[in-house]
Amino acid sequence: MHTSLFWQGAAFTAAAVFFVAVSTWWLYFSPTKQSPDTTLAPSPKMASRTALILGIASALMIIGALWDASMHISTGIVPGGDDFLWPPHLLIYSGFLLSWLVALLAVFEIARQGRRSGTRDPRLWLRQNPYVGIVVLASFYALASIPGDAIWHELFGIDLTAWSPPHIMLGITNAAVLVSAIGLLVQIRPGLTAPRRADLALQSLLALMFNFIYIIGVLEWELPTVRSAFVEARPIWLYPLVGGASAFFTLMLAKRLTNTRWAALTTALIFYAIRLSITFGLDVTENIAPYFPLVFFLGALLLDIIPWPRLASPFRRSLAAAALYTAGFLALALPQLAARSDLPAFTAADILFTALLTLAACLAFAYLAAWAAGALLGAQAES
């Protein structure tokens, strides 16, 4: 029975991945016979509208994911696809569908511009607007992954983990959708009359992206009353390492993509506002709410007050950012973790591992954030 289910799940996943991979190659990398005669840049109205709706779709997925975790705990239902069409999943599926539909509308608008300009090849339309195509493909994969996720539930039952392959892939696709929304706003920001408003929108999209990544990364350590076998088998220092380092990457992107003085702290505040609003909603509706997320306010503040212009060396800037953030993050997170009686006690070795590995991960993420921001801002320069 399990062997049959495994191959069914593998078939669903492989088919979805194969279709997206082939479509990606054809749209973005296959040779074309002509070059576009005119530039097909996204209009500010289209880009803003698309980014806004993608943000709403992501919020639906985040609400659905936390609600879904609550219902799994309260009902004990996981196996057999019994949860396939219950309300939290319908909310998540609605987010997938909304992303896909708004991206298709953007494609239709780009196609109309392309045909009017004499460009008939759809690959040329999307190569000049790559973010729109990414949203279409990522959202399609999310929709196509639904049967595979149900089969994974059937296979692994109550020990289903947020680190399962379908969930990780959904995390990647949701991040790709929000990065595309960010890219659209970055492209049009130079021509906007209110760039500060665009910066706030970018920080909000980054906060939404991090909320989803945070759910995949560490939610199982923050759910009361249940610990899956997967969590019990992991060392406790993984919790602050994954949560803290992923927060650092998000905050560094905010620093590099926006022009506001307190970009990191603002993004952190928006993250907590989103998470706590959903937690409050779960609590008042008598659902199971997760514990308060790891606190990285001090780390965000230290990132904002680093005197960047005085550090001429890129390595010194990255090391200073990683070291100060790690110190600020652990200064608040370790006491918070020690106060959690439901978690294993942190030993001296755990604290040392947490500090050293968080510092190393943040140093690597500083360079990754610089590369990602450069790619997004480069697209702005070319548009």
In the predicted structure, residue 37 carries a pLDDT above the cut 80: no
Query: Could you tell me the pLDDT band of residue 382, with boundaries at 50, 70 and 90?
Result: very low
The full set of domain ranges for the chain reads 1-32+39-193, 199-383
- Residue 53 identity: I
pTM summary value: 0.87
Mean pLDDT of all residues in 86-114: 84
Q: Which residue has the higher pLDDT, 226 or 117?
A: 117
| More confident site: 81 or 285 | 285
| pLDDT tens digits, 294-330 | 999 999 999 999 877 677 788 888 999 999 999 999 9
Asked whether residue 153 carries a pLDDT value surpassing 50, the answer given is yes
Count CB-CB contacts under 10 A for residue 319. 16
**pLDDT at residue 31, rounded to an integer:** 84
**pLDDT number for residue 184:** 87
Read off the pLDDT of each residue in 126-153 and give the average, rounded to a whole number. 75
Annotation: CATH topology of 199-383: particulate methane monooxygenase, chain B (1.20.1450)
Binning pLDDT at 50, 70 and 90, where does residue 132 land?
confident
Q: What is the pLDDT of residue 159?
A: 46
